[in-house]
Structure 1
Amino acid sequence: MRFGTIGAGNIAQAVARHAVAAGHDVVISNSREPETLAELAAELGATAGSVEEAAAADIVLLAPPWSAVDDILGALPAWDGRILIDATNAFISFSPTQVADFGDGTSSEHVASLASGAHVIKAFNTLFARFIAADPRHDAGRQLLFYAGDDADAKARFAALVDDFGFAAVDAGSLHEGGKFMQAGGGPLSGLHALKQET
């Protein structure tokens, strides 16, 4: 399977490493030219590409700064049913910390409105990057990974993918209800690090 990352920060790198280790063909991208990622791509065992090339993959991780999300998604063609994993948190300021206000909606519903034809899965945003980067398999159990989405088949594909990475995937519900639980700035699952005990 071809896996792409839009963004090449700590979270994108961590997920890309898991995807490479699981045998997937990984393309990473950032806001600059692919040549700026050549060294990192070689270290990861991935390929450096443009945002458009990464976004053409079967499953794509969205992990740029929130301020760039609208412009990035607005410039891409329709997704034709492919999976877009939204790992963003809608921070509009870090000093002081401020999160965008979506009223009764969620940031991932906003992402879905911009990504025509995508099956959006909210995931990887509730964990600090160090917990994503580490081996999800521990003596005490596996790292819980919460996710949300509106399409059952896409959710099943995502759960199988991250199970292969070693995570214990937990379905938090729809982008609306589950997204609220996972959303930065008050969601009870935001920042929660926990393990699933294995019997």
Structure 2
Amino acid sequence: MSRISIIGTGNMARALGSRAVAGGNAVEVIGRDASKAEALARTIGGATAGTIGAAPAGDIVILAVPYAHAVPLVRQFGDALSGKVIVDITNPFNHDLTGLVTPEGGSAAQEIAKSAPAGAHVVKAFNTVFGHVLAACTPEDPRPLDVFIAGDDAGAKAHVSSFVESLTLRPLDVGDLTSARWLEGTSVLLMRAMSGKAVRSSSFSIGLTVRD
């Protein structure tokens, strides 16, 4: 299994951390507020709390923070992220859900990659799965949640795919990191559907179904 460092202490960090521990992964929680990180590690059970800015213990480092904080955090960690697989789960949509706040034609993942140190590889994943949906999905469900991933390094994507499978979810590779902008655009549609009550419940996800 994998060694995972989760930067963030919110709902998505809780959901991913809990599922990661259940899947046999070693989990470290890192937050700006050390007391919140320690509390979340205790809540997850079997996780440890790390220190912001210090070298993460995990081979995979998950950015479970708002997009506005992601690039500054990557710059703060600097060379401590060298050799790591950085998983960007952020959704950079604007306040009224009319679009993305990233540069035209770009993505949050690509902006993060520009700030990452040499030897680090950024993979986009989990941004189309709501935290509460992930928490409610049990390993016994007959149809696992789909996790779309995008990245430029084949080895990094394989590592993330194995981690996704350890969570009893299904990884779906959608291409290189330029595909991240489409995944982030999809999140805008999901949020519109939820806020506009186009669906009866916010407990939904997107995926692929193959029919014979």
Task: Sort the TM-score into its range (normalised by shorter chain).
Answer: 0.7 to 0.9
Decide whether the 8 Å contact of 1:99 with 1:184 is kept in 2.
yes
Label 1:133 to 1:66 Cα distance change in 2 as closer, same or farther (>3 A): same
Shift of 1:184: 3.6
What SS does structure 2 have at the residue aligned with 1:37?
A: helix
Kindly state the Cα deviation for residue 59 of structure 1 after the two structures are TM-superposed. 0.7
Partners of 1:36 and 1:147 lie apart in 2 by: 29
Quick one: distance in 1 between partners of 2:187 and 2:77?
31
Structure 1 residue runs without a partner (length 5+): none
Which amino acid in structure 1 is aligned with residue 22 of structure 2?
A
Tell me the residue number matched to 1:7.
8
Label 1:54 to 1:44 Cα distance change in 2 as closer, same or farther (>3 A): farther
Which residue in the other structure is 1:169 paired with? Answer: 171
In 1, are the aligned partners of 2:8 and 2:31 still within 8 Å (CA)? yes
- State TM-score, norm by structure 2: 0.80
| Shift, 1:150, TM fit | 0.5
Structure 2 equivalent of residue 64 of structure 1:
65
Helix, strand or coil at the partner of 2:90: coil
What is the percentage of aligned positions where both structures have the same residue?
32
How many corresponding residue pairs?
A: 195
Aligned to 1:99: 100
The aligned residue for residue 148 of structure 2 is 146
Q: Which moved more, 1:118-127 or 1:75-84?
A: 75-84
Query: 2: distance between equivalents of 1:187 and 1:148?
Result: 17
TM-score of the superposition, structure 1-length normalised?
Answer: 0.85
Letter in 1 for 2:207: A
CA distance in 2, matches of 1:130, 1:17: 12
> Higher strand share goes to which structure?
1
Q: 1:62 to 1:139 in 2, by over 3 A?
A: closer
Change (3 A) 1:136 1:76: same
Q: CA deviation at 1:101?
A: 3.2
Structure 2 equivalent of residue 130 of structure 1: 132
Unaligned runs of 5+ in 2: 192-203
Partner of 2:42: 42
